[in-house]
Amino acid sequence: MIHFMAFYFIQIFGMLAHHKLHYTITVENAKVYNDSWASIDSRPLPIWYDEAKLGIFLHWGVFSVPSFGASPAWGWYYWKVSGWQSWKDYMANNFKPKFSYADFAKDFSTEFYEPDDWADLFAASGARYMALTSKHHEGYCTYPTNVSWNWNSRDVGPHRDLVGELAHSIRSRTSMHFGLYHSLYEWFNPLYIQDKANKFQTNAFVKEKTLPELYEIVNAYKPDLIWSDGQWEAPSWYWNSTVFLSWLYNESPVKDTVVTNDRWGSDTLCKHGGYLTCNDRFNPKTHVPDKKWENAMTLNKGSWSWRRDTDISQFLTLKELLSTFIETISCGGNMLMNVGPTKEGTISPIFGERLQDFGAWMSVNGEAVYGSKPWRMVQDTMDSNVRYT
């Protein structure tokens, strides 16, 4: 409503002004986005994003407590829905029979969390932006909120604002852009389960949970990136995604700087929104996609969050990281390199070493990286591994 009124006001004002002063207003200067995908998709991506090339992704939450098995961020789901034997055995062998996933939260201690040190490490890697999980599919919020009662970092576990503290450190110590990951869906939220049972003809979960969180993280932390996820079970009209995005682009405190991805509904992946992520570790290699894209990948091959039962073979080498990065930027992408912090709030030295080594390479080669554009050819027909930037 407000958008339309503002639009008409500009039109009327423009007409009056034109009549009296021979003065015209170009609507482009005050472009207003409506809640159609055509309109949302027409917004130019703020240029900082393409120039940045490298970002750091962080998966941190209650799943960092069990931190066990393949992809622990999905552990609750593997245990309760998929019924993986390894999870059933781990729980049966180590915990009392009534132990629930929620009981892990009190051990999300973060007592060694030093966001200043994290910020310095990320900046040293050469990354120019980052994204931290504000909420993953388990539903736990890593910031204080009233819409996730007793399932947020103020009420249980850290008793700290993990998001706010990192936002402050990133902004006060580095020139990186601060971003947040947010999952639209939650596996076990009763409101979501009810909406799903109603074939998404009701949207109580979106109204009472997802949207309030999205507005809250934007207003409270002013992120320059919203890395949306967990969109796949329901279409974007259920999530009210374009309603939120039109607010984000027209009125929010980050309307001129914010960048978003393409995970806003089962109909949007690789198609609508800000830049494309398509699938995890997206890397087209042989062509330059029509739209700006990102290769979201993880330094620990099989896992997005910390695993206690990991070993050195699981970590990509510096050489592997650099060839993935060069492939990515040569085809016009950015690389979002993921790190999994521990429940104590530390970043394992293996991640630290990789980031520092990456940064040493960037300090020599950064001039040919930041702000670069793909060349007119991306592949040498004689050697499939040679590409030009």
Ligand X SMILES: *[C@@H]1O[C@H](CO)[C@@H](O)[C@H](O)[C@H]1NC(C)=O
Among 142, 203, 328, 330, contact with ligand X (rule: CB under 6 A): 203
Site string for ligand X, 135-154 (x = CB under 6 A): -----------x--------
Residue with Cβ nearer ligand X (142 or 305): 142
Neighbours of 41 (CB within 10 A): 17
Residue with tokens 């069990």: 66
The yes or no reply on residue 109 touching ligand X (CB under 6 A) is no
Among 36, 172, 286, 363, contact with ligand X (rule: CB under 6 A): 36
Residue with Cβ nearer ligand X (197 or 386): 197
Site string for ligand X, 227-256 (x = CB under 6 A): ----------xx-x--x-------------
In the complex, minimum distance from the CB of residue 204 to ligand X, in angstroms, rounded to a whole number: 10
The yes or no reply on residue 39 touching ligand X (CB under 6 A) is yes
In the complex, minimum distance from the CB of residue 206 to ligand X, in angstroms, rounded to a whole number: 7
Residue with Cβ nearer ligand X (187 or 238): 238
User: Amino acid identity of 46?
Assistant: P
Spell out the long-range contacts of 317-325 with Cβ–Cβ below 8 A and sequence spacing 24 or more. Answer: 318/354, 318/357, 318/358, 318/361, 321/354, 321/358, 322/358, 322/361, 324/283, 324/295, 324/297, 325/53, 325/54
Residue with Cβ nearer ligand X (118 or 238): 238
The yes or no reply on residue 350 touching ligand X (CB under 6 A) is no
Taking the C-alpha atoms of residue 377 and residue 375, their distance in angstroms, rounded to an integer, is 5
Angle between helices 349-365 and 115-124 (to 10 degrees): 40
Phi, psi of 181 (to 5 degrees): -85, 145
Q: Which helix (H) or strand (E) holds 336?
A: strand 333-339
* Phi-psi label, residue 93: left if phi above 0, alpha if psi -120 to 50, beta otherwise: alpha
Closest CA to 7 of 241, 251, 255, 272: 251
Please identify, among the stretches 33-41, 88-96, 225-233, 351-359, the one whose residues bind ligand X according to the rule CB under 6 A: 33-41
In the complex, minimum distance from the CB of residue 310 to ligand X, in angstroms, rounded to a whole number: 38
- Tokens representing residue 347 in the block: 């970043």
Q: How many residues belong to the site for ligand X (CB under 6 A)?
A: 11
Vertex 48 angle, CA 31 and 168, to 5°: 105
Among 38, 47, 197, 368, contact with ligand X (rule: CB under 6 A): 38
In the complex, minimum distance from the CB of residue 258 to ligand X, in angstroms, rounded to a whole number: 19
Please identify, among the stretches 32-40, 262-270, 317-325, 352-360, the one whose residues bind ligand X according to the rule CB under 6 A: 32-40
DSSP string, 151-201: -BTTTSSS-S-HHHHHHHHHHHH--PEEEEEEES--TT-HHHHHHHHTTTS
In the complex, minimum distance from the CB of residue 6 to ligand X, in angstroms, rounded to a whole number: 13
In the complex, minimum distance from the CB of residue 234 to ligand X, in angstroms, rounded to a whole number: 9
Neighbours of 377 (CB within 10 A): 11
Task: Give the list of residues 6+ apart from residue 16 with CB closer than 8 angstroms, or none.
Answer: none
Residue with Cβ nearer ligand X (34 or 174): 34
Residue with Cβ nearer ligand X (43 or 136): 43
Binding-site ranges for ligand X (CB under 6 A): 34, 36, 38-39, 42, 146, 203, 237-238, 240, 243
